[in-house]
Amino acid sequence: MTITEMFQTKRCVFSIECFPPKQTTQMDKMKTTLTAMQKLNPDFISVTFGAGGSAGGVSTVEVADFIQNELHIPALAHLICMGNDEASAAEVLNRLDAIGVRDVLALRGDRTPARPESPNFAHASDLAHFIKYKKPHFSVHGACYPEGHPESETLRKDVENLCIKQRAGAEHLLTQLFFDNTCFYRFLNLARRAGVTLPISAGVMPIVKRSQIERTVALSSASLPSEFTRMISRWQDDPAALYDAGIDYAVRQLRDLIEGGADGVHLYAMNDAAVAEKLYDGIRDLL
Ligand code: FAD
């Protein structure tokens, strides 16, 4: 069954994100992690495109190959516009085609000084068009932002741009992480009213370590509900308690999303199989 067909048949599609290791010597550890995640029966696993995908280290294609062909789980390979032109994007698509991976998350990529703008793709929808033109048998997926993309003037404008992504051939959208489910429901309502009919998976990241508070929570523009900030201030100096509280918060968030009718839930588990397993245990009765 393709990922797109899963959204037509399953009540809630369950997926996990992973990222390629920065060094080739870490690939064995990565394989152990992914093999542990296989036991959670994810409907698909997505693989990010970043340092590993574009500048040394293990490539996105290599990790996707292991997931698809060794673990026999559908792999969703991320591909970004930044730093890629038509020739390099086509090369990645050919490599994916050769290993049987037919699902691509088309993204613009974040602007960083190290990444040149793409001469061919200004927006993710341009890359989506290109993928459908080069590989009509591929399924294209896209990103969306329940609280609006930081560069967008308004959430409404950002949602209107999702319609362009939809017209470019995207078949499914994955959200940025968020901690407040009311933001997701409000976004879903806006998107449906704007004519976005694609299935939308809700992305949830458990905050289980102090370093994530500094890196992820502080840098993300996600709204922080008072229950969440209370949890952080109460447990940030107690690693074991923060771990348990972070899992508990994410499980409650996920259960509410599944019961609230989300088309899919996507775990940003940061390559941590034990965390993914705890989250899965907390929601498996609903899946
Ligand atoms: P776009 O869809 O191009 O949107 C970017 C901005 O342009 C938005 O403000 C949008 O409203 C606007 N826009 C879109 N289309 C148009 C148009 N046609 N005309 C005018 N304005 C338009 N980054 C990585 O580097 N590697 C990854 O693997 C990765 N994975 C991600 C996975 C998910 C689920 C998410 C949510 C993000 C991920 N990112 C990743 C980060 C992402 O690349 C950045 O958030 C980036 O800034 C925007 O990407 P996008 O695909 O949403 O861009």
pLDDT of res. 53: 44
Q: Is 164 in the pocket of ligand 1 (CB under 6 A)?
A: yes
Nearest CA to ligand 1 atom 13: 161
Of 115 and 118, more confident: 118
Q: How far is the CA of 76 from the centre of ligand 1 (A)?
A: 16
Could you tell me which of 196, 195, 162, 155 has the C-alpha nearest to residue 178?
155
pLDDT at 52: 41
- Write out the two tokens for 49: 């495109």
- Tell whether ligand 1 has an atom less than 6 A from the beta carbon of residue 53: no
Instruction: Grade residue 56 by pLDDT with cuts at 50, 70 and 90.
Output: low
* Residue 124 CB less than 6 A away from ligand 1: yes
Res 283: pLDDT? 98
- Two tokens at 63? 């990790």
| 201: Cβ contacts below 8 Å, ≥ 6 apart | 13, 15, 172, 173, 174, 175, 262, 263, 264, 265, 266
Question: Measured from the CA of 122, which atom of ligand 1 is nearest?
Answer: 3
**Which pLDDT tens digit goes with each residue over 60-107?**
999 999 999 999 999 999 999 999 999 999 999 999 999 999 999 999
Catalytic site includes residue 62: no
pLDDT confidence tier of residue 287, bands split at 50, 70 and 90:
very high
**Which value, in Å, is the radius of gyration of the alpha carbons in the chain?**
18
| Fold adopted by 3-283 | TIM Barrel (3.20.20)
Q: Is 50 in the pocket of ligand 1 (CB under 6 A)?
A: yes
For residue 148, pLDDT over 70 is answered with yes
Residue with CA closest to ligand 1 atom 22: 161
DSSP class per residue in 143-193: EE-TT--TT-S-HHHHHHHHHHHHHTTEEEEEEPP-S-HHHHHHHHHHHHH
Q: How far is the CA of 2 from the centre of ligand 1 (A)?
A: 24
Q: For the segment 275-286, what is each residue's pLDDT rounded down to a tens digit?
A: 999 999 999 999
Q: What is the pLDDT of residues 199-231, one digit of tens each?
A: 999 999 999 999 998 888 888 889 999 999 999
Return the residue whose CA atom lies nearest to atom 52 of ligand 1: 143
Give the pairing of strands 44-47 and 139-144. Answer: unpaired
The pLDDT value given to residue 37: 98
CA of 108 to the centre of ligand 1 (A): 5
